[in-house]
Amino acid sequence: MKLSKATVYFSGAALILFIAGTLISWGKFGHAHINRAAVMALPPAMQAYYFNHIDYITQEANVPDVRKYTYRDTAEFPRHFIHMEDLGNLDTVPKSYAAAMARYNKRFFIKQGILPWNIQFMMDKLTLAFKQKHAVDILFLSADLGHYIGDAYMPLHVSSNHDGLLTNRKGIHAMFESQIPEQFGEAYNFHTKGAVYIADIEKETWRIMSESLKAADTLLQVDRDLYKNLPDNKIYELDAAGKIKLNQYNEPVHTYQYCKLYQAGLHGMIERKLRASIATTASFWYTAWVNAGKPDLSKIDKKELTLRNAQGMAQERTLWKKGKLFGIDTDDEFN
């Protein structure tokens, strides 16, 4: 895992060392911000417990991608995407996890992805963890679920044209979800409405899928309208020999200026998607907790820990109300 610069802060007697994780799929920036802000959007009955572990939940946001790219865990890949266009008539696609398992085989899932069903699967696991009051499972599953919800709101994760390969725009994926948030995300507003109960998780999951698919068309179109009028050197970073620079994943790197123009053309779509991911993640965590019978989370940690973190939580909540978050370093170098 690639580590970034450590950020150290003091909260009363507590010293919290936070080291941000790796990139890819909303990048380090996006996933870390989604999970951290989701903690801030929780109701009081859940928030103190989650805040005690907010650095874990922030860092853990990137772990599903670590399983993909560092472990090369092949079972992990399909959990992050779905090719909506390749599913046939969406009205007849099985909506529940159980129905999908009954209809499709492993080969199908590896090729077309499993994202919406995986979200439902994770919700069931998280609900069970709350019922059983398994502290470690609650935190681990919450963090993982936040990652997959973030992926569901990233439009190219639900499209078969997931990296613009079908339209000769390889690299658009990384530009949209990593380069632009890392360049401009400090100005985004991460304050959202609080968690709400979601009566029908299955329906909500598929609503997000449809919304993301529509947005995929839009973001590809905005890019098309922009790049067709520009020469290569305005679109891509070039090396001394005039060749397009590639990032560590062999994808073309776009210029700062192109990213700026593209972001303007998207009229806030990236910020909107990140904000929606935050509100939904908090709502899914909250819904799992309600469905588990609202277990008392204040009994899990020692009360001294909760007491020690109370001031830090109040400070971060004040900051979050201004749209900002504490302790996430977007610098990608460890120094």
Using CB under 5 A as the criterion, what x/- string covers residues 22-51 for binding Zn ion? ---x--------------------------
Contacts with Zn ion: how many residues (CB under 5 A)?
3
Task: Point out the residue whose Cβ comes nearest to Zn ion.
Answer: 25
Does 204 interact with Zn ion (rule: CB under 5 A)? no
| CB nearer Zn ion, residue 20 or residue 261 | 20
Give me the least distance between CB of 66 and Zn ion, in Å please.
Answer: 10
Amino acid in the structure at residue 223: D
Which residues in 50-69 contact Zn ion (CB under 5 A)? none
Give me the least distance between CB of 315 and Zn ion, in Å please.
Answer: 30
- CB neighbour list of residue 71: distance below 8 Å, 6 or more residues apart: none
Give me the least distance between CB of 319 and Zn ion, in Å please.
Answer: 27
Does 177 interact with Zn ion (rule: CB under 5 A)? no
Give me the least distance between CB of 63 and Zn ion, in Å please.
Answer: 10
| CB nearer Zn ion, residue 52 or residue 62 | 62
From 25, 24, 17, 19, select the one nearest 3 (Cα to Cα). Answer: 19
Give me the least distance between CB of 76 and Zn ion, in Å please.
Answer: 9
- Residue 116 and residue 97: Cα distance in Å, rounded? 8
| CB nearer Zn ion, residue 52 or residue 178 | 178
Tokens at 128, concatenated: 């069970």
Is residue 100 within 8 A of residue 206, CB to CB? The reply is no
Quote the DSSP letter at residue 246: B
From 129, 189, 148, 175, select the one nearest 281 (Cα to Cα). Answer: 148
Using the contact rule CB under 5 A, the part of the chain among 107-115, 144-152, 219-227, 266-274 near Zn ion is: 144-152
Number of Cβ within 10 Å of residue 265's Cβ equals 15
| CB nearer Zn ion, residue 68 or residue 191 | 68
For Zn ion, the binding residue among 151, 182, 204, 271 (CB under 5 A) is 151
Give me the least distance between CB of 155 and Zn ion, in Å please.
Answer: 13
First-residue to last-residue Cα distance in the chain: 15
- Residue 155 and residue 132: Cα distance in Å, rounded? 35
Amino acid in the structure at residue 241: A
Is residue 138 within 8 A of residue 126, CB to CB? The reply is yes
| CB nearer Zn ion, residue 28 or residue 254 | 28
Using the contact rule CB under 5 A, the part of the chain among 21-29, 89-97, 296-304, 310-318 near Zn ion is: 21-29
Q: What residues form DSSP beta bridges with 11?
A: 14
- Residue 258 and residue 30: Cα distance in Å, rounded? 20
| CB nearer Zn ion, residue 65 or residue 271 | 65
| CB nearer Zn ion, residue 155 or residue 312 | 155
| CB nearer Zn ion, residue 130 or residue 148 | 148
Supply the DSSP string of 243-258, one letter for each residue.
Answer: PBPB-TTS-BPBPHHH
Q: Could you give phi then psi for residue 17, rounded to 5 degrees?
A: -105, 120
Give me the least distance between CB of 31 and Zn ion, in Å please.
Answer: 7
Does 80 interact with Zn ion (rule: CB under 5 A)? yes
Quote the DSSP letter at residue 93: S
Give me the least distance between CB of 114 and Zn ion, in Å please.
Answer: 12
Residues that bind Zn ion (CB under 5 A): 25, 80, 151
